[in-house]
Structure 1
């Protein structure tokens, strides 16, 4: 399995985020049910944004992760101002 970290950037007071959040969470629940979502959640420092960690079968690439996350209602609804995707090697892996 390959692991990817997705950083979402959005304003802490974004109305679009509030409006679309229920559909976004349904999307994430579906990823969890498929065994793809490791964890997700908003940053709590008042700066906005969120972190999502997913795993996809090998030989998945960051492009594959982007294609999957393109279906997130936050993305399709234009709620995020930027998104960064990194492949990640959780050396000390507690995400069994």
Structure 2
């Protein structure tokens, strides 16, 4: 599994919120396809965590296809890390 950590900057909130419905629709589709395990914002809305059940090449394709990650002001991919769950994954 791969974990993606996003950071949001407060100055871009209108653009980010405008892009969010299409982004969340894409997340729902990825979840239904079994490619996304879980996703959601931090409680303080300063970022989000996404857990993907794909290989690195598949993740790059997903990130490239969703404008939220590559062209929405104020959305920054802070980290991509491999995660090896012991329970629940």
Cα displacement string for residues 54-85 of structure 1 (whole angstroms, at most 9, x for unaligned residues): 102xxx2x343122222223124323133421
Asked if residue 65 in structure 1 is aligned to residue 64 in structure 2, the reply is no
Q: Would you say the 8 A contact 1:10–1:81 is kept in 2?
A: yes
Runs of 4+ in 1 over 6 A off after TM superposition: none
The normalised TM-score by structure 2 is 0.82
Q: Would you say the 8 A contact 1:10–1:82 is kept in 2?
A: no
2:72 alignment partner, SS class? coil
Stretches of structure 1 that go unaligned for 5 or more consecutive residues are none
The normalised TM-score by structure 1 is 0.76
Aligned 1:82-93 pairs, distance under 5 A: 82-91=77-86, 93=87
Stretches of structure 2 that go unaligned for 5 or more consecutive residues are none
Structure number with higher helix proportion: 2
Equivalent pairs, count: 87
The CA RMSD over aligned residues, in Å, is: 1.8
